[in-house]
Amino acid sequence: MNTVGGPVITTAKMSGAERQHIIRGWKNDEYVRLAPGFFMEREQYEDLGREEQMQARVVAYACTAATTVVVGTSAAHLWGFPVDTDNETLCKERIHLASTSMRSRRMARVHYRKIGRSHENSIVEVETDFGTVQVTDALTTALDLARWSTIDQAVRALDHGLQSSLFTRDELTARLKEMAGVTGIETTRQAAGLASIGSESPRETDVKLLLWRMGLPAPRQQADVSSRRNVWIGRVDFFFPELGLIIEYDGDGKYHDPENAESTKAKEYDQHRDYRMNGLVPIHVCDETLRNGTAADLIERYVAALSLVGQLYPDHLWTAECLAWV
């Protein structure tokens, strides 16, 4: 049973006078209406971050149909998955609710879905700052994103779940078998094959998906690379030993720490020198180059050039956490 709590106000058990007081306050911009019959004081609402605001909306709408289950992207928000949504899209995003008995239908603010037996044992209660709701478990939520949202969202969520130990690769494999009969299972299996424990941030997942879409062989992730004299040089995000190619993703904060920026640059300079002295080629991509296509062009050029050389880096000089995909 879904119930609100914390700062969320429900008019369900209010007297007529109390309800009218809330409605007048809403019309005077003193309250924000989260869902029909559910409100929050505007000042409290505006103090929340955008994800918290979304979670409050999800909980409120779930409580308009108290026996429903939060699924899809709405469940992803509750689990804290890195859903890639801008502010404008987030404000317009439908809430996704489901049950085993209701028929699927899409309304202005809510998308109701029917779920079958494959989901019956994957429903858990989650406590939030805004109430307690029924929601699909973290693994099922991540897998459902592949068929109800996009492969990118699903792989982001799966990578995050594996990296955060919300679930294991064995549990993922077992859950896929249980979901064998659901609509869209092929897309779900594809997302599962692209998931890995080696993506340490959502943008590293995005780099991985770029490499996959370029048709490249799966690189190694989180590879420890040593020199030809067997001295450790560094740990890299993506490594193509058959090409001697290293790809690193630079997050926004990498050089922005005023106390460590110069030491980070100096360390990186020394690492680059060591990589190149050992016949390796390191390249860096960032959020901007991912978005404007420069990263793809750069990677494509280096892959083409290094493929002609065919310089395999010796197996005994590197180890890696995993393949980027299978």
Per-residue pLDDT at 254:
56
Strand order in the sheet with 281-286: 281-286, 245-250, 232-240, 220-226, 318-323
Answer whether residue 167 shows pLDDT above 80. Answer: yes
Are 240 and 217 in contact by the 8 Å Cβ rule? The answer is yes
Helices and strands, number each (H, E), in the chain: 13, 15
Per-residue pLDDT at 262:
59
Are 71 and 97 in contact by the 8 Å Cβ rule? The answer is yes
What's the pTM value of the predicted model, to 2 decimals?
0.92
Q: Does domain 204-323 have CATH number 3.40.50.300?
A: no
Confidence label for 257 from pLDDT (cuts 50, 70 and 90): low
pLDDT in tens, 92-123: 789 999 998 888 899 989 999 999 989 989 99
Who contacts 180 (Cβ-Cβ below 8 Å, separation ≥6)?
Answer: 118
Query: Average pLDDT, stretch 302-325?
Result: 95
Partners of residue 33 on adjacent β-strands: 39
Q: What is the mean pLDDT of the chain?
A: 93
Q: What percent of the chain has pLDDT over 90?
A: 85
Q: Could you tell me where in the chain the CATH 3.40.960.10 domains are found?
A: 204-323
